[in-house]
Structure 1
Amino acid sequence: MQVWEIASVLREYSRLSDGTAADSSRVEVVALQSARWQALRVSRDGIEQCIAVLEEYAAQVCEADLRYRELQQIQRLVEGIAEALDLLARAAADALAVAEIEAMGTEAVIVAKAFSTALDRASAAAVIALPTRASA
């Protein structure tokens, strides 16, 4: 039963349940009144079951919607993993580049020291090899 149908049945139930109670104590009238109330109770129970099922359906739809949003979030995260891995690879490459640059810096210091030593030796040799100028 859909919501509109439930509302229609409830309207009819309300109309019928507002009916006047029998003022007679005759067995036939009491039996008819009892049958009417029994029919109304069965109708009300059916309506309540429909409402309970509809509420359960609504709860399941809400749960499914929540799971769908979680799935979308997971998909966005998975799509972002490739980008994050690329960034991580670049970071690893940067770390390797830093190590290379540091090694080149160490080599540059060694070369600079070798050039300084060679320059000092060449200066010392030049002092020995070249005559000194006389002061005038």
Structure 2
Amino acid sequence: MNALSAAARYYLGAGRRAEEMEEDGRHQDVCILTPQLVLMARRVDSRAPFCRIVDVRCRFRPERCNAWHLHFLAGEVRNLLAYEREILSLPWILTQHGKRGDGRLAKLSSARFCRLLAASAEGKTVSPPCG
């Protein structure tokens, strides 16, 4: 299954239409929708309440942003290594755990995220950075 199919299946499983994926993508700072990689991410203030961080329509003042919130990530994640400088432009990566909207975020340093990506590219077994 390619990344676009996986993303569409996720959206359907969450009770949403696959078309909503493209709409969510328009509200992101970064949106890659290809069969190899689906990434939707935006700059956020990691100190903000969960409901604001996961709301794709919520925008934060640029000077308050200290993290990338990965709204969705699937596919060949090692391809993200080409964007290491951009990833490292903010100190944190935030991802959701478990079911959508459960109120929990994982926070890891951007540097650790890039190390996990590099290990994945080298074929090493690593725990995935996203829940």
Q: TM-score range by the shorter chain?
A: under 0.3
- Larger proportion of helix: 1
Larger Rg: 1
TM-score by length of 1: 0.19
